[in-house]
Structure 1
Amino acid sequence: MADSDMTTKPRGLFDRSTKGHVMPTVSVLVERGQIRFFARALGETNPVHFDVGAAKAAGYPDLAAPPSFFMPIEAMADDERARLGQPSLIKLLRCDFGRLLHGDESYSYNGLVYAGDTLNFDTKIIDFYEKKGGLMEFVTIESTVSNEQRGTLITATRTLLHRLG
């Protein structure tokens, strides 16, 4: 093996040609059972997540989802993409689960999600970069959850990474 071969940076696994790609918007319907199940899994005790009467007494139109409900919304959006024959974000990026790690994440909340909401889910691939001399590659993704009447409810910025070394 030539010396130049030994000093070449590892090739990344992510499909970097997807930078700037905007995935097609998909719509999902939030159901009461989904909110109740997720709230129970989190150990929530606030009745606005379980009892419609309590939610309405608190001024909500129906059960209120916990703020971390973004993850079930994303899973529902992935299911809808599969139903429509569209690739998931993970497939589009060519993620290798044997090397994939979860990096940073941040969320901006502009409104609550309620049972009965039809939500639009949008995702854009923002950027790719490397660290540790190319031994780690990163992708930054931005997703928004919006409702036709109430606008953007959640904006999520997340980073996934592959360990390459």
Structure 2
Amino acid sequence: MALDHAILDVATALIDADVERGRIRQFALAIGETNPIYRDQAAARSAGHPDVLAPPTFLFGLELENSVVFADLAAHGVDLASVLHGEQRFRLFADVHAGDRVQFQTRYVDAYSKAGGSLDFLVRRTTVTRDRTVVAELESVTVIKNPAGGVA
């Protein structure tokens, strides 16, 4: 079934999330980051940070973990078994550290098809704020495989 473009009218509720030191450490280890400012509070403070620094892509995981993106897709007729991660990009405006509380506000900003309708692409943009100041903009593209060129 082709993507229901009414999803472009969806803006999620503001989602609060705490940035936890242990989660940052875990994420840094998972991505192979060896710089101690991402794992050790003393090293981060020695480098001028108030606490352990979150790697740039940490916010994607934190947002996905706290979001309702899969519920949004399912509510708009998407078979979740047909979903692929397409790409992601981000712009950072300020560092995020352990102990911060951030907010995520997500909108679906574009949808288009390729390959004769057998692939739909959905662009999701999330603004990340801390104390009402934008610290990052995250953008991801979800690819949705449609059987038979999107014909239901």
Q: TM-score, structure 2 length as denominator?
A: 0.87
Structure-1 residue corresponding to 2:33: 44
Q: How does 1:53-132 map to 2 (within 5 A)?
A: 53-78=42-67, 88-94=68-74, 95-132=78-115
Alpha carbons of structure 1 residues 76 and 127: separation in structure 2 relative to 1, 3 Å: same
Matched, 1:141 2:121: no
Instruction: Output the CA distance in 1 between the equivalents of 2:66 and 2:117.
Output: 32
Determine the structure 2 residue equivalent to 1:162: 144
Name the CA distance, whole Å, in 1 between partners of 2:87 and 2:26. 26
SS across alignment from 1:41: helix
Tell me how far 1:101 sits from its aligned partner. Answer: 1.4
CA distance in 2, matches of 1:90, 1:51: 34
- Identical positions, percent: 32
Q: Tell whether the 8 Å contact from 2:111 to 2:122 is kept in structure 1 after alignment.
A: yes
Alpha-carbon distance in structure 1 between the residues aligned to 2:106 and 2:39: 29
- Indicate the SS of the match to 2:80: coil
- Measured against aligned partners, the alpha-carbon deviations of 1:29-73 in whole angstroms (never above 9, x if no partner) come to 111100111111111111111221111111111100111102221
Q: Deviations over 1:107-144 (max 9, x none)?
A: 11111110000000110011211111211111111012
Gaps of 5+ in 1: 1-10, 79-87
In the alignment, is the contact (CA less than 8 A) between 1:30 and 1:118 conserved in 2? yes
Give the RMSD, CA atoms, in angstroms. Answer: 1.5
Residues 83, 142 of structure 2: 8 Å contact kept: yes
2:46 partner amino acid: A
Moved more, 129-138 or 90-99: 90-99
CA distance in 2, matches of 1:140, 1:52: 36
SS of 1:72's partner is helix
Aligned to 2:150: none
Shift of 1:155: 0.7
Aligned position for 2:14: 25
